[in-house]
Structure 1
Amino acid sequence: MKPSTKSALLGLMLVLSGCAGTPGAQAPGPVATPAVAPEVRLANVIAAAKGADDRELAVQPLRDPQVQDLREDSTAAIAVRNYGAAAEALNQALLIAPDDPAILQERAEVALLQGENERADTLARRAFELGSRVGPLCRRHWATIEQARLARGLAQDAQSAHVQIAACTVAGLLRM
């Protein structure tokens, strides 16, 4: 037999063997999503945070200078793709301000970059629980949850998170 014929027969046998199933076997679980780079997932989160209306209210709380320095250290570490250092800086900030939704969200985003998708989901949900239910930060929470669930192959759960992103948007006031 020619090598090309052998390859074709082997391929056909593999396909046919995959068709055989056992009676009562359950359908496979969620279909894995195509591999998406963590940086692309984060870009999707950032894009979701941008509102269609530049009049939207976004509250920026006053920050402890030490916490702000740690956040800036994290941003610098992310810029050079040192996600471990970024995570550590935010972990230090969380020791100072453990219930700060913005810091929790930033830490969730770093977890997403590190491929720690379950942790990213958990941190973003915690940030949402503690933070505002509207605005750009709210959209970032839900977009992070969506991306983390997509990365874990949980498409239906990701869809429910996607619906929540729109619920975070409140139209700005008309000023004359």
Structure 2
Amino acid sequence: MKLRTTLVLALTALLAACATHPAPQARPAARAKADTDALVAKVRAAGAQGVELEVQPLRDPQVEDLRHEAEALEAARKFKSASEVLDLALAIVPGDPGLLQWQAELALQRRAWERAEALAIESFERGPKLGGLCRRNWATIGHARTQRGAVTAAEVAFRQGDSCTVAPPVRM
């Protein structure tokens, strides 16, 4: 019995010596700092007028004044202040998909990736599922996911944006 115990211990020690430790995991390479101006430019380019017909509702004059103020603040790179002005506009027209998308783009400028994605999703849910705004929604979602490291989910979002364009009917 003693020989058997000694043999088992020796084999266990031998096997333990042969075991390899997993290689230390390399730290993920630090992502290059995103050029937020380029990201927002790509989002807005995705929403450029396509071949589809887009209907724009009449805007409240009060909201239009706030839009102009937000544009000036954004041009001056005061993204937080521009966002606060858009919050005032959203208090007048709650859930406006265009304003929500603009908020999402300002969140991209501030590197608030989760907020940008959440606002773009809300804009998509409330807005048209086709056209320029739809493409901007999915481009924002894709860029926000890319910046968070969710590359596969970002690719899905970018592909989803392609479905926002509908070819016009063939005219004979």
**TM-score where L is the length of structure 1:** 0.78
Structure 1 spans left out of the alignment, 5+ residues: 1-20
Give the superposition deviation at 1:33.
4.2
Q: Contact 1:49/1:140 (CA < 8 Å) preserved in 2?
A: yes
The question of 1:120 aligning with 2:119 is answered no
Higher relative contact order (CA 8 A, sep 6+): 1
Q: Contact 1:38/1:113 (CA < 8 Å) preserved in 2?
A: yes
Find the aligned partners of 1:23 and 1:76 in 2 and give their Cα distance.
Answer: 55
The question of 1:98 aligning with 2:94 is answered yes
Secondary structure of residue in 1 paired with 2:94: coil
1:35 corresponding residue in structure 2: 33
1:69 corresponding residue in structure 2: 65
Instruction: Kindly provide the CA deviation profile for residues 82-137 of structure 1, in whole angstroms up to 9, marking residues without a partner as x.
Output: 11111111111111111111110111111111111100000000000011100000
Pair 1:127–1:29, CA change in 2 (3 A): farther
The structure with the largest alpha-carbon Rg is 2
Give the superposition deviation at 1:35.
2.1
The question of 1:80 aligning with 2:79 is answered no
Give the superposition deviation at 1:50.
2.4
Give the superposition deviation at 1:23.
3.0
Using the aligned pairs only, state the percent identity.
Answer: 45
Give aligned pairs, total: 153
Q: Contact 1:108/1:121 (CA < 8 Å) preserved in 2?
A: yes
1:154 corresponding residue in structure 2: 150
Find the aligned partners of 1:137 and 1:147 in 2 and give their Cα distance.
Answer: 15
- Aligned residue type for 1:97: V
